[in-house]
Structure 1
Amino acid sequence: MTPKQEERLKNKIKKIKKDLQADKKHWGGFYHDGRGLRYLPPELYLKLGDFTGALRYFNWFTKNFPEDIGYPIFLFEWTITLFKTKRIEQAEKKAIQTFMSNTYIFDKFLQKESLQFNKSESSNWQLEELIEYFHYTKNQDYLIDFGEWLERFTTSKKFYDFANRFIELRQKLENEPVGNTRTQLIDKENELIKKYTN
């Protein structure tokens, strides 16, 4: 990347931050961000190789959007950032959150054939079509070490135990009508998520 390209990316980040501040001012001290600008900076920080800057941004995001769980590509970028800043335990938890938000994303990154499951996908973010907008691969120079780590993690017993149980519950939820059984399945899923991400 040339210095001019770096400068352009840095200016984009500055502009997004400025627009977000204007949004907050417009809404009387609260962020509305109907355009989703808050999701854009991580990709720019990663392109710059500024993982510390990305981490600061995610900390800011957590503080200012505490109810926002993000979306799969954003969570994936967060996982990269945690790994690159040597926060491995947190990276594992964020990887699990990423997988929950879209079960196809890791296979796409690791260039494996996507496993197909007939399971409940309760939002558009969980659909396979999302990965058409996903442009990270394990072969990108700056992601080779992350790719090796993710390959190890997603083949670990810890991840397998979580993923198999999560998919099992999602499959049961697929055709379960509203009622006690569905509520119990959702409670079990919430317990599983809490166990692996808290």
Structure 2
Amino acid sequence: MTPKQAERIKTKIIKIKKELAADKRRWGGFYDDSRGLRYLPPALYIKLGDYSGAKRYFNWFAKNFPDDMGYPIFLFEWTITLFKTKKMALAEQKALDTFRGNTYLFDAFLQRPPHGRSIREWSNWASKELEADLPYSNSDKELADFAE
């Protein structure tokens, strides 16, 4: 990644944080993030390799959205962040939360067929759709230790 690309990503994170702060002011101390902006920063932090920044963001998220369980890729990013910041017990727990949110996510990340499960159309986001939408894979050098 070039310094210019990194700077653009940092600018995007700042812009999202400003939008969230404005949203909180607009609603009198509460968030009404119907656009889902709160789910975007972790992927940007991971792109930058800034896992401590992602960890701070997840701490903020847990404090400000305690009832929001997130969606599977968001939980997966949280798991990666906890792993990369050496919080293994928390990473294991978040991996279980991720698996409960989507039983196919880890198989898609590891690029292997689902073990002992048949993929049905009614499944919780399986197969080709998941593989197309998942921005992470075990072939990513930055995530090789996590894949192990």
- Equivalents in 1 of 2:118, 2:60: separation in Å? 36
Which residue pairs with 1:12 in the alignment?
A: 12
Instruction: Show the 5 A alignment for 1:43-82.
Output: 43-82=43-82
User: Which of structures 1 and 2 has the bigger CA Rg?
Assistant: 1
State the 1:78 CA deviation.
Answer: 0.2
Instruction: Give aligned-pair identity as a percent.
Output: 60
CA–CA distance in 1 between the matches of 2:135 and 2:119?
A: 25
Deviation at 1:117, TM superposition (A): 4.2
The answer to whether the Cα contact below 8 Å between 2:119 and 2:126 also exists between their aligned partners in 1 is: no
Aligned-residue RMSD, C-alpha = 1.7
In structure 2, the residue matched to 1:3 is 3
The match for 1:96 is 96
The 3-state SS of whatever aligns with 1:21 is helix
Aligned to 1:25: 25
In the TM superposition, what whole-angstrom CA distance separates every residue of 1:134-190 from its partner, at most 9, and x where no partner exists?
121011010000000xxxxxxxxxxxxxxxxxxxxxxxxxxxxxxxxxxxxxxxxxx
What runs of 5+ residues in structure 1 fail to find an aligned partner?
149-198
Matched to 1:127, the amino acid is: W
More helix by share: 1
Report the Cα offset of residue 128 of structure 1: 1.5
Q: Of 128, 143, 150, which residue of structure 1 is paired with 2:126?
A: 128
Using the alignment, how far apart are the partners of 1:7 and 1:45 within structure 2?
A: 12
TM-score by length of 2: 0.92
User: Which amino acid in 2 is paired with 1:102?
Assistant: N
Tell me how far 1:76 sits from its aligned partner: 0.2
Ranges of 4+ aligned residues in structure 1 off by more than 4 Å: none
Q: Which runs of 5+ in 2 are unaligned?
A: none
With normalisation by structure 1, the TM-score equals: 0.69
